[in-house]
Amino acid sequence: MMLKLVIIGGGSSYTPEIIEGMIDRHDQFPVTEIALVDIEKGKQKLDVISRLAKRMVKKSGKDITITASLDRRNALKNADFVTSQIRVGGLKAREKDERIPLSYGALGQETNGAGGIFKALRTIPVLLEVSKDMAELCPNAWLINFTNPAGMVTEALLKYGSHKRVIGVCNIPFNMRTGVAEILGCQTEDVEIEFIGLNHFVFGRRVLVKGVDYTSIVIERLKDPSNQYSPANIVSEGWSSTFLSSFMMLPNPYHSYYFKGAEMLEKSLKEYWENGTRAEVVQQVEEELFKKYDDKELTEKPTELEKRGGAFYSDAACNVMTSIYTNKGDIQTVNVQNNGTISDLPNDAVIETNAVMGGEGPRPISIGTLPLSIRGIIQLMKNMEELVIEAAVKGDRERLYQALVINPLVREETLAKDLMEELLDAHKEDLPQFYQQV
């Protein structure tokens, strides 16, 4: 039987992770073809990755065919699963998202603040095209999206896309689970975290280990700043005892940008003066990685990939695909449409939540109302995301301006206008929806 996976953005430096994930799970998820797809600009990287993928598969002895192509529509034919990991405008565009806000003294970050908003504006229209192609060419395939900002992109696809079999994934919930397992000295499989909220704005409300409530023990241990679960791109010094005892929830590493803003800004500026933006650091890491990937002797994923913040994202993606394929019915954390899971948010909002994962896709586990302590900020963040999505789809400057004004990392009306104009201009090439002739 054929089982085809298409990777959109196959030339990404993260691809060896997915290949490894597919090899490791081959007994349960016997993929027969992995089709790597990229755009003309990414051809060189795609070639390097496809050669490495072929060497990895050969070494594993698994019966998987690797193909590489620039023809997305052709590759999508007969796909069973599609993953998306694209970066519209490349790392150069990310550099602008990070540098321009910082130059105004505002936090600039790949998925947060003004930078994250502009990444969404560039990305959403491109993925809506992929969605259109999928509806036509592989209507039964599942799209597993980890293209950032994953929550907003997934919501845009589910609201405006032609293809509705879409699930968003992120490595943060996965990292938090493995981090908590380390803190408690137990196995990741035994840890369950009840996640509530939005992508990169998710909280862990309860920690269970083999069904026993460990929430207060984990909260207590998090007071020691050496107990962490931050990815490589976020340097966190931990949380105060007052904060942890009061909220009694596990924050995710991205909450530092919102609740430790002054400290994060100071750190980001220092980092920027010393090493440049994170995008520049990542470009260097990528250069080293691709040199390694091009080595004919290399037949496995090099450990250096762990210097990237998104490391282990593919575990989340591969687990989702395997559970759908095998109708496993286990619990996974995914980005899906709310549909009443959280009663304080709109039905069509995408939330990051635990879901039972089976053959028909995710079935979210009901949460009820949000805790009073975080209800408002989650509603605000979702409201901001809804404005961004509308702006991205319609090329609507009013919606964009409103999103920037209410974003907690901007929150100043004149700053919002200045950032909007400078970023729109800087990304002109990748934002055709804002420059169409009427």
Q: Which residues bind ligand G6P (CB under 6 A)?
A: 110-111, 148, 170-172, 231-233, 278, 282, 308-310
- Is-contact 75 37, C-beta < 8 A? yes
Picking from 336, 335, 334, 343, the residue whose alpha carbon sits closest to that of residue 366 is 343
Residue 94 marked in a binding site: yes
Looking at the Cβ atoms of 45 and 308, the one nearer to ligand G6P is 308
* Closest approach of ligand G6P to the CB of residue 146, in Å: 7
Please give the positions annotated as active site.
254
User: Cβ 279 to ligand G6P, closest distance in Å?
Assistant: 8
CB of 307 to ligand G6P, least distance (A): 7
Q: 390: alpha, beta or left, given left = phi > 0 and alpha = psi -120 to 50?
A: alpha
CA–CA gap between residue 376 and residue 379 (Å, rounded): 5
Q: Please give the C-alpha separations between residue 69 and each of 52, 118, 125, 255, in angstroms, as whole numbers.
A: 15, 28, 21, 39
Taking the complex as a whole, the smallest distance from the CB of residue 278 to ligand G6P amounts, in Å, to 5
* Residue 252 assigned as binding residue: no
Find out whether 26 is annotated in a ligand binding site. Answer: no
The tokens describing 60, both together, are 């594993």
Q: Name residue, tokens 């993606």.
A: 317
Three-class DSSP category at 64: coil
Tally Cβ neighbours within 10 Å of residue 295. 12
Shortest spacing between CB 173 and ligand G6P, in angstroms: 9
Residue nearest to ligand G6P (CB): 309
State yes or no: 200 annotated in a binding site.
yes
Question: Is residue 181 a contact partner of residue 190, using CB atoms and an 8 Å limit?
Answer: yes
88 versus 137: smaller Cβ distance to ligand G6P: 88
Whether residue 351 contacts residue 194, with contact meaning beta carbons closer than 8 Å, is answered with no
Nearer to ligand G6P, 283 or 379 (CB): 283
User: Rounded to an integer, what distance in angstroms lies between the CA atom of residue 263 and that of residue 281?
Assistant: 20
| 277/402 with CB nearer ligand G6P | 277
Phi and psi angles of residue 167, each rounded to the nearest 5 degrees, phi first: -135, 130
The binding site for Mn(2+) consists of 170, 200
